[in-house]
Amino acid sequence: MRFSAWDGEVQEAVTTIQKFRLRVSDLHELHVEEHGNPNGTPIVFLHGGPGGGTSPAQILSFDPTRFRIISFDQRGAGRSTPSAEIAENTTSALISDLEVIRERLQIERWFVAGGSWGSCLALAYGEAHPERCLGFRLHGIFLAGPADIDWWFHGSRMIFPDHWESFASFIPANERHDLLSAYYRRLVSDDPETRLAAAISLRTFSATTQTFLPDPDHVSRLIEPAAALAVSRIFTHYCMNGAFLEPDQLIKNIDCIRHLPCEIVQGRYDTVTPMASAWALAKAWPEARFTIVTEANHQSTRGPMAEALREAADRLSFTLATAAA
């Protein structure tokens, strides 16, 4: 079911409830925002990366007349400070941050939405705090296992050999067998020029492989230097540490949240987080609704993928309203 209130006019007039800074440690301070209906159903959106930060386009995947939409830039990402910081930046720390935000906003339970890395964090948070979740909307599924990470750095050359060659060529030939470690060493270098060059190279490859059709404007937006450095450093930091999760942790613990409603939305031609991970999640969580968007890659804010995400959010809201009736 789709709510009639969600249309183009609503998209252009999303109400900002508040924006604030929230210190979560001696080192880290987060940028937090609320949009939509202050009396609506609370839903927190978890951005990708890790380190990617939020954007207005992501907020538009929720009906602002029905949802109280909470978004924030995770540690080191976006407008949170210090930028690109990997110290005190772990999955458990981000889960704790979510609880700090929830308590600050006096929310008892909320829906949790996330895409790409955000889907991984949403699952980890939900399994840690199922009693605080109303349900989930997940897309671009990333489970942070060795196969997911190896695909990104090496396997994707099967589809993008041209772009991968440029990405790999940034690294000397004797290090190309392990591009993750090679890029990570440069991204944590003491030399700022080395860090930035590695970040631009990695983020260019990332941006080029995300869209269903080539999109130079999308690439240009993602390689802005400060943002590219943040996502590249934090992304490789998490990949080097297996996202600070136990092997297969998210699938093994799925029974903690299977009683909750869930919408899984996946682009069939997602070359960043391939559909095999979404398929594995859907098989482990048969109660979840699984939507495959055919004409979609990883980008989620335009085209059929954006439409499918809006419809999935609508269904979650309808499910909650029906249960309360």
pLDDT in tens, 136-192: 999 999 999 999 999 999 999 999 999 999 999 999 999 999 999 999 999 999 999
**How many percent of the chain have pLDDT more than 70?**
94
Residues 6+ apart with CB under 8 A from 50: 74, 77, 89, 117, 121, 231, 234, 235, 237, 238
Residue 7, pLDDT above cutoff 90 = no
Is 1 a member of any domain?
Answer: no
Q: 268: domain CATH number?
A: 3.40.50.1820
Question: What phi, psi does 209 have (nearest 5°)?
Answer: -95, 5
Is 34 a member of any domain?
Answer: yes
* Residue 110 and residue 182 in one domain: no
Beta strands in the chain (DSSP E): 16-23, 29-36, 41-46, 67-73, 110-115, 133-139, 262-267, 289-293
pLDDT digits (tens, 9 = 90+) for 205-253: 999 999 999 889 989 888 899 999 999 999 999 999 999 999 999 999 9
Q: How much is the pLDDT for 320? A: 77
* Residue 86 and residue 154 in one domain: no
pLDDT digits (tens, 9 = 90+) for 56-99: 889 999 999 999 999 999 999 999 999 999 999 999 999 999 99
Residue 8, pLDDT above cutoff 70 = no
* Residue 42 and residue 179 in one domain: no
Final residue belonging to a domain, choices 190, 208, 243 = 243
Among residues 116, 156, 300, 317, which one is catalytic? 116
Is 186 a member of any domain?
Answer: yes
Question: What tokens does 59 get?
Answer: 């907020």
* Nearest Cα to Cα of residue 155 among 168, 140, 141: 168
* Residue 232 and residue 272 in one domain: no
Q: How much is the pLDDT for 325? A: 52
Q: How much is the pLDDT for 6? A: 40
Rounded-to-integer distance, Cα 315 and Cα 137, Å = 10
* Nearest Cα to Cα of residue 258 among 282, 241, 234: 282
Is 2 a member of any domain?
Answer: no
* Residue 281 and residue 305 in one domain: yes
* Residue 20 and residue 101 in one domain: yes
Residue 3, pLDDT above cutoff 80 = no
Rounded-to-integer distance, Cα 167 and Cα 165, Å = 5
Final residue belonging to a domain, choices 179, 214, 243 = 243
* Residue 17 and residue 52 in one domain: yes
Residue 11, pLDDT above cutoff 70 = no
Question: What tokens does 140 get?
Answer: 């671009």
* Residue 63 and residue 29 in one domain: yes
| Residue 298 among the catalytic residues | yes
Among residues 270, 277, 314, 317, which one is catalytic? 270
pLDDT mean over 292-301 = 95
Residue 324, pLDDT above cutoff 90 = no
Give the number of domains in the chain. Answer: 2
Question: What tokens does 286 get?
Answer: 């048969």
| 121 vs 214, higher pLDDT | 121
| 7 vs 43, higher pLDDT | 43
Is 43 a member of any domain?
Answer: yes
Final residue belonging to a domain, choices 243, 278, 301 = 243
* Residue 140 and residue 27 in one domain: yes
Rounded-to-integer distance, Cα 271 and Cα 210, Å = 7
Is 3 a member of any domain?
Answer: no
Q: How much is the pLDDT for 15? A: 87
Residue 14, pLDDT above cutoff 90 = no
Give the domain extent around 197.
147-243
Is 232 a member of any domain?
Answer: yes
Among residues 35, 206, 298, 317, which one is catalytic? 298
* Residue 138 and residue 169 in one domain: no
* Residue 289 and residue 171 in one domain: no
C-alpha pair distances (Å), 175 with each of 52, 161, 196: 26, 18, 19
| Residue 218 among the catalytic residues | no
Reported as a pLDDT band with limits 50, 70 and 90, residue 5 is very low
* Residue 16 and residue 133 in one domain: yes
pLDDT digits (tens, 9 = 90+) for 268-283: 999 999 999 999 999 9
Residue 29, pLDDT above cutoff 80 = yes
211 in Cβ contact with 299 (< 8 Å)? yes
| Residue 169 among the catalytic residues | no
Is 122 a member of any domain?
Answer: yes
